[in-house]
Amino acid sequence: MKKIILATLLLVLIVAGFFAWKFFGSAISSPEKYFYIQSGDSMETVKENLVQKKIIGTTTWFNKAANWLKFNTVKPGRYEIKKGMSIFNLVKMLRNAQQSPVKMVITKERTKELFAGKIGKKFDLEIDSLQMIKFLNSNDSLKQYEVDTNTVMAIVMPYTYELNWTSTPGKILEQFYTAYKKFWTDERKIKADSQHLTPLQVSTLASIVEEETNKKDDKYNIASTYLNRVKAGMRLQADPTVKFALKNFALKRVTGVHLKTDSPYNTYIYAGIPPGPICTPSIETLEAVLNAPKTEYLYFVASSKFDGSSVFTTNLTDHMKYARLYQDELTRRMDSTKKANATK
């Protein structure tokens, strides 16, 4: 009798151990890093995809774990598949919708169209570029974030954001707007007001400065120069705004024909600050505008040394002298490059 009881217990232990191994043991050795559940996918579709992606071999033990954990409703998302994951942990993760966040790193975005174009390519999200640009082109959608189709890129601050793969355009803009509002402290608002600028105008002016130079020290003087021109009622005459109007960011030399481009962003034609940013400026450049020094500069031009620095002047005569030096050196370098290419 004791032998029968012991044999039965042993059998029960073996069966229990087998089930425990199947449920809790290492079962996943998938080539896929992430598993995606699309909006509208059914439970059957999810199971078929798990097998197709070779995340699980069959649905047998998945079904048993799903019944045990009462996993009946699938939730769309991006889920990280870890090597050695158990069936139990896989089912629990999907049941609890424990999505793996998507990191969206914003550095410099020039237009809302180019930004939207990265959705689904650089930025791994369920929505596509068309959905994003449709949202960014709708003033009705944007008014809750206190921006419009011209100023919307001002709230796309250069930070790293964590999003759900299923995030809608509205959810994405909500994160941008939260970061934007956090940046604009009372102290920064006071500084903007002292420059007679709104926060959105600060972002726009900073975007022009951002495109003018990478040198930190020059950013402050360029910001000061532009502020002086605004106060004097002069046109900014900023080449980057012409490139933005043309949507030609590779243009190396802005000439007379380019300056005639009729666009509210062309600061050679229209006075004042453009209707919106021409790129997403860095925090450093925003601070350069907010803390621009008091100077008498009205002009600046790239140095003929081609070291990335600028030469600042207070009068047109000096400005034209340095501008000619720069243009002559630019022409010399371009001719030299043409000759070098011709001899290859």
Q: Where are the domains of the chain?
A: 21-95, 102-183, 186-297
**Which positions of the chain have pLDDT values less than 70?**
1-31, 339-340, 342-344
Q: What is the pLDDT of residue 63?
A: 85
Rounded CA separation 324/310 (Å): 14
H or E segment to which residue 98 belongs: none
DSSP secondary structure letters along 191-227: HHHHTT--HHHHHHHHHHHHHH-S-HHHHHHHHHHHH
Q: What is the pLDDT of residue 342?
A: 66
Are 54 and 30 in contact by the 8 Å Cβ rule? The answer is yes
3-state DSSP assignment of residue 150:
coil
Contacts with 315 (C-beta within 8 Å, 6 or more apart), sequence order: 298, 299
Per-residue burial over 169-183, b if 16 or more Cβ lie within 10 Å, else e, is: beebbebbbebbeee
The DSSP call for residue 92 is H
Q: What is the pLDDT of residue 295?
A: 95
Structure tokens at 331: 């022409």
pTM for this entry: 0.83
Q: What is the pLDDT of residue 82?
A: 83
Q: What is the pLDDT of residue 265?
A: 95
- CATH code 1.10.3470 for 21-95: no
Structure tokens at 132: 């994003």
